[in-house]
């Protein structure tokens, strides 16, 4: 039976969490003990104390080693978060000591990058030159998982359908249209008539991996149009890889319209008039619930809302 929170708070020790982090990297109690400079009996005792504290078995022991139960996996995940928070605490203290105002880790899907995110970062750096900002551009499923694992402070994206997100909050920011794109010299870019989807399907396509929302829209477009999807595809979420492949081939790709317009203005790509049937859900500001928001993170949140 799961112990009350008051019991866990009273009995939990830092060495228990250190042991769980070590065990997340090896299924051997002996190896984990060696990593922590503990004897194996001391590690066994610490693990027993932790299991007694939380009230459930965290590992199944067998001849080849140890295998985490579902409870053990949860404790290991939270143990990693605790130590990541301690690393952040040290960085924040060092930043304050040096006169900085802190560091913010932002994750975002492609759509807001060329406009919203750029304006936010430029505005913030003008007002707070010593604010440290890191940005990760990826698909929503990757970003949300990173947020839950405390590897990001803010995500501008979507919570994927069916994703376990009871610990997340979502605030709608904007909608996102999609465009089919090609290199400016592509044969279909100068066709006298609007290319049909069946004609475009004959070319190789660059698509985002499953289960990204953009990939779902692409699949939905072919399904509802009753057109067989492209046989030849390359899966990537990298805009640099996408642009490089478009430049050197007759491949086609799907990009957020805001991103497509940005690169079309630079004459890097051409947007095609063939529409996509599906639409993406609005993207928004995603945060972890019941999580203390640091002053530096609040600055970014306020700037995103203002923009």
Q: Are 57 and 69 in contact (CB under 8 A)?
A: yes
Q: What is the pLDDT of residues 70-90, one digit of tens each?
A: 999 999 999 998 888 888 788
pLDDT band at 100 (very low <50, low <70, confident <90, very high): low
Query: 1.20.1260.10, 3.30.230.70, 3.40.190.10, 3.90.1490.10: which CATH number matches 178-271?
Result: 3.40.190.10
The per-residue DSSP string of 242-302 comes to HHHHHHTSS-EEEEEHHHHHHHHHTTS-EE-SPPPS--PPPEEEEEETT-PPPHHHHHHHH
pLDDT band at 106 (very low <50, low <70, confident <90, very high): very high
Q: What is the pLDDT of residues 257-269, one digit of tens each?
A: 888 999 999 999 9
Q: Give yes or no for residue 98 having a pLDDT over 90.
A: no
Residue 21: predicted pLDDT: 92
In this structure, what token pair is assigned to residue 82? 């605790």
Q: Are 255 and 242 in contact (CB under 8 A)?
A: yes
As a whole number of Å, the end-to-end CA separation of the chain is 48
Residue 265: predicted pLDDT: 93
- Which residue, chain included where needed, has tokens 């465009």? 179
Establish whether domains 5-79 and 100-175+282-306 are of one fold: no
Mean pLDDT, the chain, integer: 89
Average of per-residue pLDDT across 35-58:
93
pLDDT band at 39 (very low <50, low <70, confident <90, very high): very high
Which residues have a Cβ under 8 Å from the Cβ of 229 and sit 6 or more positions away?
A: 201, 218, 219, 222
pTM above 0.75, yes or no: no
Q: What is the pLDDT of residues 191-222, one digit of tens each?
A: 888 899 999 999 999 999 887 888 888 998 99
In this structure, what token pair is assigned to residue 32? 């984990």
Higher pLDDT, 61 or 156: 156
* CATH hierarchy code of domain 100-175+282-306: 3.40.190.10
The fold adopted by the segment(s) 5-79 is Arc Repressor Mutant, subunit A (1.10.10)
Residue 99: predicted pLDDT: 59
Average of per-residue pLDDT across 173-187:
91
Which residues have a Cβ under 8 Å from the Cβ of 301 and sit 6 or more positions away?
A: 154, 285, 287, 293
Question: Where exactly are the structural domains of the chain?
Answer: 5-79, 100-175+282-306, 178-271
Residue 84: predicted pLDDT: 84
Rounded (10°) CA dihedral 89, 95, 101, 106: -60
Rounded CA-CA distance 168/50 in Å is 28
Residue 42: predicted pLDDT: 93
Average of per-residue pLDDT across 182-196:
90
Average of per-residue pLDDT across 143-169:
89
Residue 102: predicted pLDDT: 78
């Amino acid at each position: 039976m799961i112990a009350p929170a008051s019991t866990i708070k009273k009995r939990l020790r830092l060495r228990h969490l250190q042991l769980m982090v070590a065990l997340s990297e090896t299924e051997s109690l002996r190896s984990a003990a060696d990593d922590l400079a503990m004897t194996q009996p001391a590690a066994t005792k610490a693990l027993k104390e932790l299991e007694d504290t939380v009230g459930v078995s965290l590992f199944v022991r067998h001849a080849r080693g140890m295998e985490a139960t579902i409870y053990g996996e949860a404790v290991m995940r939270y143990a990693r978060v605790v130590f990541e928070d301690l690393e952040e605490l040290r960085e924040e203290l060092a930043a304050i000591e040096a006169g900085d105002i802190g560091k913010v880790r932002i994750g975002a899907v492609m759509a807001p990058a060329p406009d919203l995110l750029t304006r936010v970062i430029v505005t913030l750096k003008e007002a707070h030159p010593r604010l440290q900002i890191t940005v990760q551009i990826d698909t929503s499923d990757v970003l949300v998982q990173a947020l839950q694992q405390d590897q990001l402070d803010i995500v501008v994206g979507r919570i994927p359908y069916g994703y376990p997100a009871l610990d997340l909050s979502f605030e709608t920011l904007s909608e996102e249209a999609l465009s089919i794109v090609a290199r400016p010299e592509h044969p279909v870019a100068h066709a006298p008539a609007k290319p049909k989807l069946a004609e475009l399907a004959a070319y190789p396509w660059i698509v985002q991996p499953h289960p990204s929302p953009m990939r779902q829209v692409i699949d939905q477009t072919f399904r509802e149009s009753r057109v067989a999807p492209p046989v030849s595809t390359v899966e990537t979420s990298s805009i640099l890889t996408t642009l490089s492949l478009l430049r050197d081939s007759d491949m086609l790709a799907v990009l957020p319209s805001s991103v497509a317009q940005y690169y079309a203005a630079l004459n890097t790509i051409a947007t095609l008039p063939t529409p996509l049937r599906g639409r993406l859900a609005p993207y928004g500001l995603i945060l972890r619930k019941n999580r203390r928001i640091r002053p530096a993170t609040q600055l970014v949140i306020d700037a995103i809302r203002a923009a």
